[in-house]
Amino acid sequence: MNEDTIAEIKSAVREAIDKLQPKLMDLSERIHRNPEIKFEEYKASQWLSEVAEEAGFRVEKPIGGLETAFRASYSGSGEGPTVAFLAEYDALPKLGHACGHNLIGTASLGAALGLREVMDRLPGSVQVIGTPGEEGGGGKVILAEAGVFDDVDVTMMFHPSRKTVLWKHALARRKLLIEFFGKSAHAASFPEKGINALDATIQTFQNINALRQHIKDDARIHGIITHGGDAPNIVPDYSASLFYVRARDDDYCDELLEKVKNCARGASIATGARVEMEMQGAYKSLRTNMPLAQTFKANLEALGWDFDDVDPTKEIGSTDMGDVSDVTAAIHPYLSIGPKDLVGHSPEFAEAAASERGQQAMIAAAKALATTAVDVLLRPSLFTEL
């Protein structure tokens, strides 16, 4: 297919999304007004999958063992790659849509609906996959383990942010519960009879602080004490803490996790409190597919958007998109929805996620995602020649 035809297909996609604009904005606003926290996104998943079904997509719901996950598929004119746009739609407790997932869900739906208009001219197929529970639920990890992405070649989504950023690292993350079991006794009358579980937790923090000097720059270890005793006059017989161990590299993250466990084991020996540890979830590091990212860049710039100059190693967290990027070619770019000092997970961010600027970012993201998919479907080598 020549360049002129590709350009013509892309403009047809953008026009289709322009026509859908009122519908998408209404949907995004409705999801914003009805915030649902992780794995309780019944309305949002219903509304999004319903619109896809009306547009002729085949909807499977639920999928991957998650009640609020769905897949909507539409096939093109022949054999080709499968491109999936990932729709998040969970909100935060108390803060509502302070991470702007209402915009992610509608942008991904909009991209698929726009692409649908030209699928008779394209090979392969397009999907919207509803991925619930991003905020602390690791929904995509569960879906990846259930094989939901096995037949998907390329996955894309955008995330609202204070800046427009093509790609950033996201750290591998391990969540570790550490529990100590001691022996209670009167803290003043019979201290020699007690085994202090709280001391073991405090010692674990001290040991980790000693470790901290000798870890890689990109690694992070941070924890909280979730149980520290019941009363000052009782030697605590139980204590618990929760840690996140993060690093850019998955292998190093595991190595560090083992060292953190040794910190707890050492504290157990020192205090006599028995230790139990449980891994409560892991996120893989994010692997951005660079040719795909560069294609997205060109397609967003074609809409008049510019990218901020950002160090991809700075201000980074973790995301369950990491696990998806491990099994598909993936991108996870950011589009600005407010001022440069806007902070995620704040009331101001929730406001921005319902603002005119937020809505415009959602529409631009839908167009850039959909036109990037046009490039992928027509030139699959773009992402396979790596």
Q: Applying CB under 5 A, which residues contact Zn ion?
A: 99
Q: Give me the least distance between CB of 335 and Zn ion, in Å please.
A: 13
In terms of CB distance, is 88 or 237 closer to Zn ion? 88
Distances (CA, A) of 157 to 79, 86, 117, 216, 373: 23, 5, 20, 30, 11
Compute the distance between CA of residue 48 and CA of residue 39 in angstroms, rounded to an integer: 15
Q: Give me the least distance between CB of 38 and Zn ion, in Å please.
A: 11
Q: How far is CA 320 from the centre of its chain?
A: 4
In terms of CB distance, is 99 or 172 closer to Zn ion? 99
Beta strands in 292-356 (DSSP E): 329-331, 334-336
Q: Give me the least distance between CB of 75 and Zn ion, in Å please.
A: 30
Q: Give me the least distance between CB of 299 and Zn ion, in Å please.
A: 22
Residue, CB closest to Zn ion: 99
Under 8 Å between Cβ of 235 and 196: yes
The 3 state secondary structure assigned to 33-92 is HCCCECCCCHHHHHHHHHHHHHCCCEEECCECCECCCEEEEEECCCCCCEEEEEECCCEE
In terms of CB distance, is 17 or 99 closer to Zn ion? 99
In terms of CB distance, is 91 or 126 closer to Zn ion? 91
Q: Give me the least distance between CB of 297 and Zn ion, in Å please.
A: 21
In terms of CB distance, is 38 or 248 closer to Zn ion? 38
Q: Is the peptide bond before 62 cis (omega within 30 degrees of 0)?
A: yes
Concatenate the DSSP letters of all residues of 332-350 into one string. --EEE-S-TT--TTSHHHH
- Determine the straight-line distance between the first and last CA of the chain, rounded to whole angstroms: 23
In terms of CB distance, is 104 or 256 closer to Zn ion? 104
Q: Give me the least distance between CB of 140 and Zn ion, in Å please.
A: 12
Under 8 Å between Cβ of 228 and 239: yes
Q: If you count them, how many residues does the chain have?
A: 386
Compute the distance between CA of residue 173 and CA of residue 242 in angstroms, rounded to an integer: 13
In terms of CB distance, is 80 or 344 closer to Zn ion? 344
Q: Please, what sign has the CA dihedral across residues 231, 232, 236, 242?
A: positive
Q: Give me the least distance between CB of 326 and Zn ion, in Å please.
A: 19
